[in-house]
Structures are given as structure tokens and as C-alpha cells.
Amino acid sequence: MCSESEKFLEHRIEKLHLKNGYEPPEFSVTPLEGQIVIEGFSVSYSSQVRRTYKTHAVQQAFDISPEDVVTTVLKGLEVRFSPGEVILILGPSGSGKSSLLDTLQNAGKLNVGKRVEGQLRFPGNYQPGAFVPIRSRKPLIELIGEKDVRTALYLLGLAGLSEPVLYLKRFEELSRGQQYRAMLAKLITSKSNVWIADEFCTNLDAATAGQVSDNVQRIARKVGATVIAAAPHCENFIRALRPDKVILLTSNWEYSILSGDQYLADMDNSLLRKGVLPRLRVTPDLLLDVKLRTKKFIVRKGRSRAELGILILFDGRDSVAVRVTSRKVIRFSQLSEEDALNADFQSLDEMKGSVLNTYPNLTDSSEVTLFSLEFLWRETPMIYDMRANRSENKPVSHAD
């Protein structure tokens, strides 16, 4: 739960006299006892064709069997899902994503007209649950945590819903992002150990998709659930979702399986080749420290526009590509000892002194953005000393 949600809930619990020794419940699920095994898995659908003059003409023209029309969407898939993994399935429409998730959600049971070949083996304690709309006219507070208002408040806050007015709204009255958070809260209470999400975050803007994805993966890992999500594209949320495994399906039955890290690396390399990357201007000193691998954390004044993912740092003469692995916007007065340690400072005072040295006009209420960086390449880059030709009195721009 974010700090603002925690503070809000603590305040409400105190105000409503709900505490009385109350401790938030430890929500967890029983992790899968073993792997989900899919071997030689194929899915096809058959549809009976009503014989008419026009359908007969089409069958004759294209040599289609008059008995039925069979469409194969998956063929020969081999994959294993381990307990606690976050899995992302990607592919265009018709590639079999929904068919695979439907089979997993129904534990291999067949629907009318659906043909399945191959083997699916599920652990004995396999209990799937899906991100599905909540069909109820009741307000959210009545749907979560049974009759315990304290538990309901905690769960809704945990899922990212901390605005009081939302507790009184019906599911259909929420925004799409809020609906995802409500579905997450409902899943947490269901005790399902496999969370299945089709068309994951496809109707959300980039910022909301990132927030929802981070919530899902973080809470799933905390409670021990396995996540299997599918989407046609993932640029808006994959870095926040942090999948352990990515399955790429195509419309011609081909597939590939990559680790989440490998997929991200391939995506980053593609962006680098295209040259469509955000840029952030920094001081020459900072750029050199980053290139020397001595700086893995930077602080910027204000709310920086740079997001998670590949970022080009430049000083006007030179540049380097890095990956932003975490981003945090916070008021200067709220910086903590933990922030200082993460930034490789010995103390909070040292960190604040360093930031004020760069931004002397900061006040306690000023916002700063904290970035954690990861280097894209293991080899040491060629370094030259940029300090030799620099005037010490020349001001340096910090504009984003």
C-alpha cells in the first residue's frame, strides 16, 4: 500500500474508533503445490455451417468442407508455469491467448465446439480466479471483507482504493482503473492461488496501467499467488508488471518463450535502434559518474517527466543510455534514511546536503524525483575525462 493510503486508513480507523488493538490481517494463499504443465497443447473450434445458396457457393469456390468449419488457434504449445510466477502472454487477435486462458480458468474442461489435444496437468490444490467485473448493485464497502469494515478498508487500501467516496460507489460507477483495483481486492479475498487476467490493462492509459500492474505483481508475490495475464501489447505496463516469463504467440501457431528480463532487453534494444527514447539533461559530472558505474541513483528537482524504462542521459556533449528501474516523487522534507541508503549516502543529512548543493533553492515543500538506474551493458564503456575542459564557474542546466 502506498504511504498516502496507509496514512488515510490509519486516520480513519482512529477517527471511527475501529482500532481497539486491531491488527491488519495477513492475507495469503496456499501456493501451488507444483507446476502447471502444458504439453503438445492444441485448441481448435468447429462451427456447423447452415446450408444456404450463398454458403454453398463459398464452400464450392474455396473448397471448404460442407460438414463444418474448423479454426485452429493454438498448436503444439509446450510450457510450464511455476508456483508464484508472473506470466505474460502476448499476441495479436486470433493467436489463442483467450483460448489458453479460458482453458486454464476452467481447469481443462471443454466448452461446446472446442477441441483440445495434448496434456494439461494441474497441481492438486489448483484454484484459479479471474479478473472479472463485479456484478452487484451494492457499494464496494459491502462487497469486500464480508461484514468487517476494518478488513474492507484495509483490503481496498491495499488494492489502491483509498478515497472515501469510492467505498460508497457501485462497481459500475468506478473508472476503469478503479475497477481493476476493485477486482484485485476481490481476488485477494477469494483465496485463489492463480490469478487470470485476459486483455490485461488494454483499456487503461499508460500511467494507470503502470499503477495497476505494479499493484498486481507486488501483491501477488506478497500473498503467494501465480499470475497469468494476456494482452495484445504491453508497452504501457510491462516494466511495472515485471513478468518472470513472457510467451509470444503468433497467428500462424508459432510461439516463443522468453524470460521477462530477456524480453525487456530485446524491447530496449529495439527502441535504441529506432532512436525513439526520452532524454534527460544532467551535469557533466553526473554523466561521467554514471558512465563510470559509480552512480546508480539520481535526484531531480520537481516532478520529472521521465518514466520507467530506457532513458538517455546527456550533458550537451555526451550521452549514455540507462534503464530506470524505480521512480519516486516525494517532498524534500519527506526524504528518509532508507532513501539515503538506497542512494548510497551514509546518512540522510549527507543526502540532503548533496541535493541542496545542486538545487540551493529547494524548500521543505519542494518535490523531488528519485531515480534508480540500471546499466544496459556489462562491458565498461570508453571513458574520457570531461572535467579537463570545463569551466568550474559555468552554470549547468538541469532542465528535463
The pLDDT tens digits for 350-366 are 999 989 998 999 999 99
| pLDDT of the residue at 37 | 96
Domain range 3-30+128-272, its CATH number among 1.20.120.160, 3.30.70.141, 3.40.50.300, 3.30.450.20: 3.40.50.300
CATH class belonging to 279-389: mainly beta
Q: Whole-angstrom Cα distance, residue 231 to residue 290?
A: 35
Tell me the mean pLDDT in the region 127-154: 87
C-alpha cell at 152: 474492507
Q: What residue has cell string 495479436?
A: 92
Helix (H) or strand (E) holding 220: helix 206-223
Contact assessment for residue 374 and residue 325, using Cβ atoms and an 8 Å cutoff: yes
Split at pLDDT 50, 70, 90, the class of 179 is very high
What's the whole-model pTM score? 0.69
Domain 3-30+128-272 shares a fold with domain 279-389: no
- More reliable by pLDDT, 279 or 256: 256
Tell me the mean pLDDT in the region 155-161: 87
pLDDT tens readout for residues 5-51: 555 555 655 555 554 555 666 778 899 999 999 999 998 887 777 88
The domains of the chain are located at 3-30+128-272, 279-389
Contact assessment for residue 399 and residue 279, using Cβ atoms and an 8 Å cutoff: no
Helix (H) or strand (E) holding 299: strand 297-301
